[in-house]
Structure 1
Amino acid sequence: MIRILLFLIVVFVLDLGFAWLADRPGDIVVTFQGYQYQVSLMVAATIAVAAIAAAMIVWWLLKAVWTSPYTISRYFRVRRRDRGYQALSTGMVAAGAGDGVLARKMNKEAAKLIRSETEPLIQLLDAQSSLLEGDHEAARNKFEAMLDDPEMRLLGLRGLHLEAERLGDRAAARHYAGRAAEIAPHLAWAANATIEERVAAGDWDGALKLVDSQKSTRQIEREAANRRRAVLLTAKAQALFDTDANAARAAALEADKLLPGFAPGAIVAAKALLKQNDLRKASKILETAWRSDPHPDVGALYVHARPADAPGDRLARAKKLQSMRQNNAESSLLVARAALEAGDTRLARSEAESAIRMAPREAAYLLLADIEEAESGDQGRIRQYLSRAVRAPRDPAWVADGIVSDKWAPISPVTGRLDAFEWRAPVERLGTLIEQDDDLARNALLPVGIAEESDAETAVVLDAAELKVEPSAPAEEKPLEPGANPAPQPAPNAVKTNVQHEAADNEDSTPHQPDDPGVDRKGAESHEGRRFRLF
């Protein structure tokens, strides 16, 4: 567009020049070697312009002829380079798709057409092809060779870092990530690995500086940066709790401010405040955490914040937390434990059963067993609750990468990942039958005696090899007297098991232990037609 505009401007200027000459007629007289040449001004201007144009054309032709060898060689060089980049592009796509054969083929073709010194991507394609072929040793050697090139150093460190992680060498992986972070602190993968390395070494301040750098360079979102910082400050407060109470208190309060409701941060902050006899502020922090997410450790610390409190006072504090999160299983369990300590077994049983209605799990049944032991000491019922606890879903715990821990930690003990622990229920026990879950849900709130009867009915399991069928002998046919009604005959296919014989013979004859409620015979008879489950 600009060239067209310039051309039009030149044409317009020439047109103005010729129009100006046309309005001013005149002659030009030239005397040369006794001859006199006379032309008009317009003709002279035309000859001058034509001569200039001819000179430019001749110069362009001479220059084209002179530079033709260079132009031809440049044409073939550009064509060769384009073919090389096309092969390189195809090879990179093949490497990304996992086609090792095509990637290696395109790598060789690109290396022939393009010099690897001028195009670093050829080295990358070579290393990726080796990885796809399974030759990890050659790939590591190529990544190590990249460390000598300043332009390829970060790529080599990245490749070595990934290879070290694949081999499970966490120390080497963190070493390469640390070198990359020194060269380019803005790299997220290098910064994350370096943070994990410093956390593992207990360098909390160094890890916090890296998180601040990530936040300032906008590598991570503000919320994610605040959570990471809160996790690191919580870990720092835990590490300094016994040695430097003031530093631990400052770190814990900052963590609670950045991430309100984070249970580990709230707990360590409250402990630091209680250590300095600041009960009001500690209670406020724990109440905020409880409203956000009820955690049993938060509730236990809140209830026992004052060691000198009487059991009734602790029960009152537990009820206060329950009023903040009503219709919650953790709230009910907290009140039930406090009521059991205070001797109010009736309230403890009511709250424990309420917790089971909302979330049946082993802790609630274990608590019911403790309540039963404190209230009546009935060993049969205690075993009943303990058996239900074994079959019930597991209680929540701190879980990270398959590891279950009673205490929170800032990094995973398996992978070293920061903020890996989650408060959730671990994986359920294997081998739990669906029928057991149905029984658990059906018997969750039944009285113990009735639940035992139900369990006795559904727990009868007979081995198929033990079922012995006794065919009934055909009855003798006798002549009927006149006017007599025929006696009912058994069905031709009627069978009776040995278990039924023994149950009929031994009914009410087997003594039971004082703590064993036994089996309700009437209930068993009422379900005589119930079919057995065979395994």
Structure 2
Amino acid sequence: MIRVLIFLAVILLLAFGASWLADHPGTVAITFGGQEYVFSTLFGLVALLAAAAVLLVVWTVLRFVLRVPSLMSIASATRRRQRGYAALSRGMVAVGSGDADNARRHASEASRLLRGDPMALLLKAQSAQLSGDREQAEQVFTAMLEHPETRTLALRGLYMEAVRRKDPSAALAHAEAAQKIATLPWSATAVLQARAAQGDWAAALRLVDRNVGGRITDRLTGNRLRAVLLAALAIDVADRNPEEALDAAKDALKLAPTLVPAAVVAGRLLARKGEVRKATKIIETAYSAIQHPDLANVYLQVRPGDSAADRLSRAEALARCAPHAVESRLVMAQAALDAREIAMARAVMAPLIDPEAGRPTRRTCLTMADIEEAENGETGALLEWLQRASRGARDPAWIADGVVSNTWAPVSPVTGRIDAFVWETPQDQLFLEQEHRPVSLASRSTPALAAEKVTEEPRLEQAERAVESAGVEA
């Protein structure tokens, strides 16, 4: 619509000008070569416009002729760029499909045609990674640091390469450098996991607060991470600074009331201070959600001077928090056995050894062996339970990324992930196990990627030796 209005306005102006010239006739005189030429004003104006048009055409042709070399250069560069981007596209497809040979070939072509282009450098780095050439990949990522638009991408690539070659200090340096440029989820997580693996709980807690404030981590996840780190801090300082450990454990339980390690530390330290009621309440809350043997042990030992009968009463009170749990029956049976209530121990264990209940666990078999030994001494039934224990089903344990551990740890020894350990029953085909000792919480080294093989419980080893000796005697 605007263009139509402009066109009409131009037409009106031209019509007005022609009308004005018609109403004001005049002449134009030109003397050239001694000869005088006289024209009307309208003719002179038309001649002037024609001359300007001719000069414009001549200048355009001359300018085009003069620009032919540069135009040819631009056309060549354009074709070169188009070929480079085509090679770049084909290379990206090859990388995505896992075709290392084509990826490397297209990356070389794109680098030749698009010298210094950040995307060509990225393709070259990815093709090197796909081919297993880690050294070249690092060199390309280092070159990408020179380009501001690819600096964070290069730092992430260098971080991944440092992780692959098991260089935690270099990986941490790259992650921290990326954090200084921009708030990125991967770098924030990497730095947080590194601080946790080093046992620097204060720094890790500050990073969690920063990530929550920067909306990298949602508040619910941040609270869980804080609880885990506070529990790790409590375990780390429990022996040398009980008050700090108790405060940290309480803070952790405010965020995660059923977090077993925090409940164990808090219950033990409160019991040591004589605050039995608070300790039992904390243990009961956690035990209602997760029936862990450490919780039961702290609960039964909350008052050191209690008799075996008192501990049996406590075991019954704890069992009421989770009456159908296997752990509750095991705890009650052991407490009854300590109180010499053999019949009660057998009655409590009866549902666990019922054939319809499936294969009994190792702890169940060992508890039945204890009951047989306490009631009848060394008999065939005792040896039978010891033999069944050697091939019994697995009891629940702490599991993280395929690693089975006897003790809880805040960080996975495989991936460095925080809050990776869960209390559950391992699968029978899961043989990779690792024992985490309390000293690992205070260590200042990154998590080992190779797991140690955990030894079986001493009691189970004794059971196996007893079965072997019994077989020799027979």
- Cα 1:366–1:73 change in 2 (3 A) is same
Matches for 1:218-229 after TM superposition, within 5 Å:
218-229=215-226
Which moved further from structure 2: 29-38 or 290-299?
29-38
Map of 2:138 onto structure 1: 140
Q: Paired residue for 1:418? A: 418
Structure 1 position 234, deviation (Å): 0.7
Aligned counterparts of 2:347 and 2:50: Cα–Cα separation in 1 = 110
1:216 pairs with 2:213:
yes
* 1:395 matched residue in structure 2: 395
Counterpart in the other structure of 1:343: 340
- Alignment deviations for residues 448-471 of structure 1 (CA, whole Å, 9 cap, x no partner): xxxxxxxxxxxxxxxxxxxxxxxx
Query: For residue 368 of structure 1, what is the aligned residue in structure 2?
Result: 368
**1:138-177 to 2 correspondence within 5 Å?**
138-147=136-145, 149-177=147-175
Q: Normalising by structure 1, report the TM-score.
A: 0.69
Provide the residue aligned with 1:87 in structure 2: 87
Residue of structure 2 equivalent to 1:471: none
Verify: 1:294 aligned to 2:303, yes or no. no
Deviation at 1:147, TM superposition (A): 4.3
Write out per-residue CA displacement over residues 237-296 of structure 1, whole angstroms, 9 at most, x where no aligned residue: 111222333322222122112223121122223233333333223222222212222222
Does structure 2 retain, via aligned residues, the 8 Å contact 1:333–1:355?
no
- Contact in 2 for aligned 1:29/1:36 (Cα 8 Å): no
Q: 1:430 to 1:282 in 2, by over 3 A?
A: closer
- Could you report, residue by residue, the CA deviation over 1:464-488 in whole angstroms, capped at 9, with x for unpaired residues? xxxxxxxxxxxxxxxxxxxxxxxxx
Q: Provide, for residues 198-240 of structure 1, a one-character-per-residue CA deviation record: whole Å limited to 9, x for no partner.
A: 2232211111122222223333343332222211111011112
Deviation at 1:388, TM superposition (A): 1.7
Deviation larger for 57-66 or 268-277: 57-66
The one-letter amino acid of 2:160's match is L
**Secondary structure at 1:29 match in 2:** coil
Query: AA paired with 2:121?
Result: Q
Closer, same or farther in 2 for the Cα pair 1:182/1:15, shift >3 Å? closer
Q: 1:220 to 1:30 in 2, by over 3 A?
A: same
Task: Label 1:29 to 1:146 Cα distance change in 2 as closer, same or farther (>3 A).
Answer: closer
* C-alpha RMSD over aligned residues: 3.6
Give SS of 2:24's match: strand
The answer to whether structure 1 residue 307 and structure 2 residue 308 are counterparts is: no
Query: Is the 1:158–1:177 Cα contact (8 Å) retained in structure 2?
Result: yes
* Counterpart-to-counterpart distance in 1, 2:118 and 2:114: 10
What SS does the corresponding residue of 2:410 show, helix, strand or coil?
Answer: coil
Q: Secondary structure at the match of 1:324?
A: coil
Contact 1:330 1:355 in 2 (8 A): no
Q: Is the 8 A contact 2:118 2:147 kept in 1?
A: no
Which structure dedicates a bigger proportion of its chain to helix?
2
Match of 1:262 in 2: 259
**Distance in 1 of aligned mates of 2:49 and 2:267:** 94
Asked if the contact 1:27/1:38 (under 8 Å) is kept, the reply is: no
Q: 1:307 to 1:82 in 2, by over 3 A?
A: same
Which structure carries more relative contact order (alpha carbon 8 Å, separation 6+)? Answer: 2
Tell me, yes or no, if structure 1 residue 356 matches structure 2 residue 324.
no
5 Å-filtered alignment, 1:67-82, equals 68-69=67-68, 70-82=70-82
Q: Which is further off, 143-152 or 91-100? A: 143-152
Q: Distance in 2 between matches of 1:430 and 1:115?
A: 51
Distance verdict in 2 for CA 1:56–1:24, change over 3 Å: closer
1:27 and 2:23 correspond = yes
* Conservation of the 8 A alpha-carbon contact between 2:28 and 2:41: no
* Equivalent in the alignment of 1:442: none
Q: Which residue of 1 aligns with 2:435?
A: none
Q: Counterparts of 1:156 and 1:31 in 2: how far apart (Å)?
A: 77
Contact 1:303 1:314 survives alignment (8 Å): yes
Of stretches 369-378 and 83-92 in structure 1, the one that deviates more from structure 2 is 369-378
Query: In structure 2, what residue type is equivalent to 1:328?
Result: A
Cα distance, 1:17–1:32 mapped onto 2, change above 3 Å = closer
**Shift in alpha-carbon separation, 1:362–1:14, aligned structure 2, 3 A:** same
Looking at structure 2, the residues matched to 293 and 105 of structure 1 have their Cα atoms a distance apart, in angstroms, of 56
CA contact (8 A) 2:100 2:127 kept: yes
1:406 deviates by 2.2
Q: 1:190 aligns with which of 181, 187, 190?
A: 187
1:478-521 deviations in Å (ceiling 9; x for gaps): xxxxxxxxxxxxxxxxxxxxxxxxxxxxxxxxxxx9xx9x9xxx
Q: How does 1:418-497 map to 2 (within 5 A)?
A: 418-428=418-428
Structure 1: gaps (5+ residues): 432-512, 519-535
Find the aligned partners of 1:14 and 1:381 in 2 and give their Cα distance: 115
User: Does structure 1 conserve the Cα–Cα contact (< 8 Å) formed by 2:228 and 2:419?
Assistant: yes
- Residue in structure 2 matched with residue 320 of structure 1 by the alignment: 317
1:250 and 2:247 aligned: yes
- Provide the C-alpha distance between the structure 1 equivalents of 2:158 and 2:247, rounded to a whole number of angstroms: 40
Tell me, which stretches of 5 or more residues in structure 2 are unaligned?
A: 30-36, 432-469
Other structure's SS at 2:26 match: strand
Q: CA deviation at 1:63?
A: 4.7
1:11 equivalenced with 2:7 (yes/no): yes
Instruction: Give the percent of matched residue pairs that are identical in Structure 1 and Structure 2.
Output: 42
**Residues 322 and 10 of structure 1: is their aligned pair in 2 closer, same or farther, counting only changes over 3 Å?**
same
User: Partner residue of 1:274?
Assistant: 271
Query: Who wins on radius of gyration, i.e. which is larger?
Result: 1
Q: 1:106: which partner in 2?
A: 106
1:372 partner letter? E
